[in-house]
Amino acid sequence: MDLRVIAAIVLLFSPFKIEGQANGLSFDYYSKTCPQVEKIVRDEMNSFYSSDPSTPAAILRLVFHDCQVGGCDGSVLLDIKDKNHQQEFDSPKNFGIRKRELIDEIKLKIDTVCPQQVSCADILVLAARDGVAIAGGPTIRIPLGRKDTTVPHSKQEADVGLPRNNVNLTKAIQVFNQEVGITLEEVVAILGAHTLGGTHCDGLKERLYGNDTVVPPRNEAEFVNYLKKTCPKDGPNQFTTTFDLDPTPRSFDNKYYVNILNGRGLISLDAEFARDPRSVNIVKRFANDQEAFFQVFSSAFAKITTLGVLTGNKGVVRQKCSVLN
């Protein structure tokens, strides 16, 4: 067959052609209105990183929490001062969320060059993507064109939309798959985000003291006892004592998988991956092959950051990320 015909057929059936367009996003969205946007975000993230190398962790968790509650629409950045209304951010499931103000800072920089063009939702996704790369992880291509919500989400929506800290594998597969068609392999890869950052005792209390706590096998028991000693039930240090989620919490690498195979997974799901027959071989593969992890993480990240996006006139470009227009 003629090569051009093959090329045409490949193009016709290629999933990449559809990707990023079915949901109204595109890779060249700002090419006319703000061609510098990606460089500005990258420069800002580099500068934040040099003053605080834990920045990528904060922003990566932030984008997940934004997307998980009403879609990737910048809602988690809102700070609505209203004593009678509990907002999304007030959900205890957002405990530990840090550095929301950095997105406003990046927005300010962008708006001096291309005022009122770039949404907070897009800036947040780009900043998270850049944080991953700056910390040593993969460079991920991200389609753009998300708009910001004009309607704040409630505390209740966040309570329901964000995962419980002891969510199990069955539930996690189900939720992620229903939301954005994420595969089991991608679930294991996206939780590799826990290669960055840390958890407070608070994040472990359901694992350590909850009613549906799974009894940990062999080498994990000792570790769990150590965690219980360090984080006593309802202890005064719940919101102060922290643990790194893997031994290299500033590097986006595959040490998370090595660590959980050693029975040192902190969040329940982290620990479960390493012992569940459905996931353990994927964990072993990622522990041995960082490139494989990076590849699957990238496709999972691209999927979760298109969750429930608002495009066209369904949303707005906010003037300030923390307040509605």
Annotated binding-site members: 66, 69, 71, 73, 75, 88, 163, 194-195, 244, 248, 253
User: Please, how many CA atoms are within 13 Å of residue 116, restricted to the half-sphere of its CB?
Assistant: 2
Site for ligand HEM in 193-222 (CB under 6 A): 193-194, 196-200, 202-203
By the 8 A CB rule, do 276 and 39 touch?
Answer: no
H-type alpha helices, the chain: 3-13, 15-18, 37-51, 55-68, 101-113, 120-134, 155-161, 169-180, 184-190, 205-209, 218-230, 255-261, 268-275, 280-288, 290-304
C-alpha closest to that of 73 among 304, 320, 313, 307: 307
Residue 165 or 290 having the CB closest to ligand HEM: 165
**Can you give the length of the chain in residues?**
325
170 in contact with ligand NAG (CB under 6 A): yes
Residue 210 binds which of ligand HEM, ligand NAG, none (CB < 5-8 A, kind-dependent): ligand NAG
Least separation in angstroms between residue 134's CB and ligand HEM is 13
Residue 191 or 316 having the CB closest to ligand HEM: 191
C-alpha closest to that of 189 among 239, 262, 260, 249: 260
**Identity of the amino acid at 145:** G
Binding site for Ca(2+): which residues?
66, 69, 71, 73, 75, 88, 195, 244, 248, 253
Residue 164 or 320 having the CB closest to ligand HEM: 164
Residue 107 binds which of ligand HEM, ligand NAG, none (CB < 5-8 A, kind-dependent): none
Work out the angle at residue 59's Cα, subtended by the Cα atoms of residues 58 and 61, and round it to the nearest 5 degrees: 70
Least separation in angstroms between residue 82's CB and ligand NAG is 30
Binding site for ligand HEM (CB under 6 A): 54, 57-58, 60-61, 64, 96, 98, 163, 165, 167, 172, 190-191, 193-194, 196-200, 202-203, 267, 269
